């Protein structure tokens, strides 16, 4: 197979941090070259349904639709461990409101979402029900969609989780916090997948390279964060570092048993709710 491999990931500080060592040739790449393709997660999900890239970041939601073409790597997870995508609006329910009151407050409102194959949307459906009114907006235009009145609520991902307050919004519900409180598991948001037509031994070798890249970034945090700042929209260094810490950690190096259980439960609940096809046997490339 070709020694140059396409590697898709989103233009965000956590992904930039993850692939820093690979982009800068700071680890042994075993003779492979990687063409880094930076696109938003919804676009990467759509490309994965067509099997276009050798390795790519995808939403965990998308897994149910691409497992005929891709296998899930054991490293590269983005997990919201008590935090995650959130519903925000210009006003919201009382701070002491419970889940049922928040659900009732959201009911019937038009919500701007970052893509119908994102894990944020799937988690939102599990909380609110499958048919909530929504419009699809690029993730970095959701605040504007709410400000302009196109939508009453935004479902925000990425760095918006840290900047919504200064943008003039209040949190209605954090889906990662809700998931942790009700399931006692992190909310699985994204992962890295590899094409199944790549020989198994090469899949394993490439999986090791990605794991080494993540581990290198965590071991050389300051230069890796500096490298990531080019992709940190509206984040200063401390906020970028905080955001990276939320989504690149030990669960990213390897899902572990907790991460594996989280992925299986998320997909099982979504399938039982009729939101995705059933995933019978989820394998991780070690």
Residue found by looking up tokens 């669960």 in the block: 251
CA 53 to CA 135: how far, in whole Å?
28
Residue 250, judged by CB atoms within 10 A of its CB (0-12, 13-18, 19+), counts as middle
Most distant CA pair in the chain, distance: 58
CA terminus-to-terminus distance, the chain: 20
Minimal CA–CA distance to 120: which of 81, 90, 87, 147?
A: 87
Check residue 92 and give left, alpha or beta (phi > 0: left; psi -120 to 50: alpha).
beta
Mind telling me the catalytic residues? 158
CA 104 to CA 210: how far, in whole Å?
43
């Amino acid at each position: 197979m070709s020694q140059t491999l396409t590697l898709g990931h989103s233009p965000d500080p956590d992904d930039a941090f993850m692939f820093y060592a690979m982009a800068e040739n700071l680890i042994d790449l075993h003779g492979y070259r990687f063409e880094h393709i930076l696109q938003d997660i919804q676009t990467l999900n759509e490309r994965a349904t067509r099997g276009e890239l050798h390795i790519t970041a995808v939403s965990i939601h998308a897994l149910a639709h691409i497992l005929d073409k891709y296998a899930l790597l054991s490293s590269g997870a983005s997990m919201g461990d008590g935090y995650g995508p959130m519903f925000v609006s210009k006003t919201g329910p009382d701070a002491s409101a419970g889940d049922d009151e928040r659900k009732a407050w959201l009911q019937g409102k038009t919500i701007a979402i970052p893509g119908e194959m994102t894990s944020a949307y799937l988690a939102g459906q599990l909380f609110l029900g499958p048919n909530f009114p929504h419009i699809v907006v690029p993730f970095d235009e959701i605040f504007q969609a709410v400000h302009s009145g196109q939508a009453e609520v935004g479902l925000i991902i990425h760095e918006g989780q840290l900047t919504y307050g200064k943008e003039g919004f209040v949190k209605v519900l954090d889906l990662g916090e809700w998931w942790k409180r009700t399931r006692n598991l992190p909310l699985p948001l994204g992962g890295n997948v590899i094409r199944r037509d790549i020989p198994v031994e090469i899949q394993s070798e490439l999986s090791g390279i990605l794991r080494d890249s993540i581990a290198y970034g965590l071991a050389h945090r300051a230069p890796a964060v500096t490298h990531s700042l080019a992709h940190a929209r509206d984040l200063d260094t401390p906020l970028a570092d905080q955001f990276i810490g939320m989504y690149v950690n030990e669960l990213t190096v390897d899902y572990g048993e907790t991460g594996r259980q989280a992925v299986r439960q998320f997909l099982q609940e979504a399938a039982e709710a009729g939101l995705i096809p059933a995933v019978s046997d989820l394998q991780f490339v070690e």
